[in-house]
Each structure stands twice: as C-alpha cells, then as structure tokens.
C-alpha cells in the first residue's frame, strides 16, 4: 500500500498530464449548470483510467473506485463551473469563451480530483473502503450543485461516510496547505429590499414619504444586528453593496428605493434569529416613516464546519505529505461554499491548496479577471486529495462511523 509520500511522488510524475488537463479546462470554461463539455471531458478521462463513471445532476459526474458492492465509501468532491468574467488577454491557455472564465480555480479542483482518481485507481484492490468521486455542477449559483447531487442520491449507493474537498488559496504560497477544524466558512444570505412611496416635491417633505431618509435610517439601524444583537462569540457580517433610487431629483423625493445586501455568519440557530430581527427592524422602521416595503431574504449556502475528528486525521495526512512547516492553520473565512451542503448530511473536511507564487507574479485573488494559479500546486492537490481519502477510508473503517 502507498504511503502518503508515495502519493506525492507519483503525482509529481503525473505533473505534465495534470497541467495539460488544467489548461484544457481553463481554456474551455462553462457557466453553472451548463458544464456539458466539461462533463464529457471528465467522463472521458475517468473511463481512460478504467473506471465506469455516470452522469449525475444533469451536468455532473460520479464514479466509484474499488469494490462497488460495498455498502459504504468515502467521497472526494470537485466543482466544474466557471464564472461570468472576461479573462485578461494574452494568456496561452486563456479562456476561449467570451465573458466566461475559471476565475475561482474550479479547473484546478477538477484537475486535482482527476489526478487523485488516477492515483487511487492504481491501488483500488488495497482500498479499505471504496472512494466515490463527485464532480458537481453549479457551485457558484444558488441553490448550489451540491443540493442537486444530494437530491439525485449522490451520497447513497454506496453510502458516503465521510467527504473531502479542497479549494485553491491565492493567499497561501505554493507548496503549502491550510486546514481548520470546526467552524470555517460562513453561511451567505442575500437581502433584497424595496421601499415604496408616492414621491413628491422635496420642499414639501412633510406631505410625502422620504424614502432616501428611510433607507439611511435602515442602513444605520440594521447594523444593530451585528453590534448589539449578535452573540459576541459568533462572527457576523451584514453589508449592503447596492442602493438605487427611482423617480427622484434634487427637488423631488424618490418614489422607489432598492437596497441589496448580504448577511453572513457561522451559526445556523443565530442565522435564523438574525433573519427575524432584520425583518422586525425593517417592518417597524418603515412603519414609523410611513413607507411601504417588499423584503426578500434569499437563503443561501449554510455555514461550513469541518468535522473535528476527521480534520485531525486529514491534518496528520497533510503533514506527512508535505511537512509540518508546510501545513498552516486557517482563520474563519466569511465567504461561502456549497460544500457545506454535504457537511449537513455527512462529516467531512474542506481544506486549502496554496497556489500563490510572487516570483511568477501569481498573486491575484479569486473572482478577478487576472486570477491564475502556480501549476506546481496541481500534484500537491492531487496527492492531498488521494491521501486524505485513503486516510478517511482507513479511519472510518476502523471506527465504524
């Protein structure tokens, strides 16, 4: 049986293929739930490894490594979709799809999972439990492709006992990995608020509803949710990124004002309570200003919390893989990730793959037109997924989780 260092040695030998796969995926991005060509590419590669993959959730893929008759398994998850961003020009492997780009590293995630599949398939007879590969669509778009995979039975037949996934980290140097046990990433909800009034002459404000003043009061008052209502031990974010007025002028009160924002936290009970408080503040503030309103709180991805015991097992694996100095602790991260949907159903671990290289000028953050990765990270990611899945298979098989 391979030890963790052997995984990395073999992954490094696979580097030319990993780079080739990643560049193909990067040059041919597809938007959420439209990943038909990406799905075909993944299916073809997995079949070439000797696997029998199947489509799931329309544009996703699942495959089993090892004895398919087993009742339980460990899962590796990767995401397939790209973002509606126009990539900077001049890259040899740049996007060939106008206005679409792998600006969040999902091309790297898919490549690493394919590399892990190749490595694990070479030792399929020695696996303590089968490994299920989940290549999901639509991570970037609500309700998230994970929900569709789960609804389609992706965590069943065989039943997933634990799941592992990774995400590129442009703030972590290539060669390093990051992990955090317990609470890690935030839930993310969208707030859409429309204020409505009759409008009218600004000099006669006492006869009309002043929606701009009401919006200003709401923006200040709603911050009480964070500063006065949130439990001090639970990090909370409430931000409004957009405000528009309609029908107004320097001497005309607007007849409609729209606000859009985001609410994020790390505790599901507090999340529900915060929604109630937000509605309460909006309702009573609007009533006091004689303003009508429409409010939608669009519930997004849940908070992501890594299983404590499985995180310890994966951290041990990563340390053995790259060395203790190359595995760093992660801070709470207020961004969201639909991997959290899987963790609502089964225990698992989501860790970070360092992709930054200042000497090569690879420093840009995700969701930008200039984002890129150091491709030397690809064999590390492939080995980390394969070794972590192997470790969880051994751990869960022994502890009968």
Instruction: Write out pLDDT tens, residues 38-85.
Output: 999 999 999 999 999 999 999 999 999 998 778 999 999 999 999 999
Q: In this model, does residue 2 exceed pLDDT 80?
A: no
- Measured distance CA(102)–CA(167) in Å, rounded: 13
Look over the chain and give the mean of its residue pLDDT values, rounded to a whole number: 96
In 63-196, alpha helices (H):
106-121, 145-151
For residue 326, the tally of other CB atoms under 10 A from its CB is: 17
Walk me through the domains of the chain, giving residue ranges and CATH numbers: 4-185+303-399 (3.40.630.10), 189-298 (3.30.70.360)
- Tell me what pLDDT residue 287 has: 96
Summarize the confidence of residues 273-301 as an average pLDDT: 97
Instruction: Write out pLDDT tens, residues 235-265.
Output: 999 999 999 999 999 999 999 999 999 999 9
Supply the DSSP string of 181-216, one letter for each residue.
SEEEE---EEEEEEEE---EEGGGGGGS--HHHHHH
Q: Is 284 exposed, middle or buried (0-12, 13-18, 19+ CB in 10 A)?
A: exposed
Reported residue count of the chain is 401
Residue 36: closest CA among 117, 138, 139, 150 = 138
- Tell me what pLDDT residue 396 has: 79
* Beta bridge partners of residue 298, listed in sequence order: 190
Percent helix, percent strand, percent coil in the chain, to nearest 5: 40, 25, 35
Q: In this model, does residue 203 exceed pLDDT 70?
A: yes
Instruction: Write out pLDDT tens, residues 312-366.
Output: 999 999 999 999 999 999 999 999 999 999 999 999 999 999 999 999 999 999 9
* Beta bridge partners of residue 31, listed in sequence order: none
Q: At what angle do helices 4-13 and 15-27 cross, to 10 degrees?
A: 60
Contact by Cβ (8 Å): 138, 325: no
- Tell me what pLDDT residue 200 has: 87
């Amino acid at each position: 049986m391979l030890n963790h260092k052997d995984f990395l040695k073999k992954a490094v030998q696979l580097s030319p293929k990993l780079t080739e796969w990643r560049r193909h995926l990067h040059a041919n991005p597809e938007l959420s739930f439209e990943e038909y060509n990406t799905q075909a590419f993944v299916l073809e590669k997995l079949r070439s490894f000797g696997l029998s993959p199947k489509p799931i959730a329309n544009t996703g893929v699942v495959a089993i490594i090892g004895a398919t008759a087993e009742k339980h398994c460990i899962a590796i998850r990767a995401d397939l979709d790209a973002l509606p961003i126009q990539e900077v020009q001049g890259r040899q492997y740049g996007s060939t799809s106008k206005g679409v780009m792998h600006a969040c590293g999902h091309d790297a995630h898919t490549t690493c999972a394919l590399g892990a599949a190749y490595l694990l398939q070479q030792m399929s007879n020695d696996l303590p439990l089968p490994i299920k590969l989940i290549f999901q669509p639509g991570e970037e778009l609500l309700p998230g492709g994970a929900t569709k995979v789960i609804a389609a039975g992706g965590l069943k037949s065989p039943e997933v006992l634990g799941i592992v996934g990774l995400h590129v980290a442009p703030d972590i140097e290539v060669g390093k990995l990051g992990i955090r046990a317990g609470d890690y990433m935030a839930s993310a909800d969208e707030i859409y608020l429309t204020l409505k009034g009759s409008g009218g002459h600004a000099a006669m404000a006492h006869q009309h509803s002043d929606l701009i003043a009401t919006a200003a009061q709401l923006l200040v008052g709603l911050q009480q949710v964070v500063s006065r209502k949130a439990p001090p031990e639970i990090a909370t974010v409430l931000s409004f990124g957009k405000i528009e007025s309609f029908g107004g002028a320097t001497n005309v009160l607007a007849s409609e004002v729209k606000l859009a924002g985001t609410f994020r936290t790390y505790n599901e009970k507090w999340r529900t309570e915060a929604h109630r408080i937000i509605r309460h503040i909006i309702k009573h503030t609007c009533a006091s200003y004689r303003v009508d309103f429409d409010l939608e709180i669009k519930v997004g991805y849940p908070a992501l919390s890594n299983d404590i015991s499985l995180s310890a097992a994966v951290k041990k694996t990563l340390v053995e893989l790259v060395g203790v100095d190359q595995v760093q602790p992660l801070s709470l991260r207020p961004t969201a990730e639909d991997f959290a949907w899987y963790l609502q159903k089964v225990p698992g671990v989501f860790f970070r793959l360092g992709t930054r290289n200042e000497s090569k000028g690879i420093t840009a953050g995700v969701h930008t037109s200039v984002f890129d990765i150091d491709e030397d990270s690809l064999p590390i990611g492939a080995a980390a997924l394969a070794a972590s899945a192997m470790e969880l298979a051994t751990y869960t098989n022994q502890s009968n989780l």
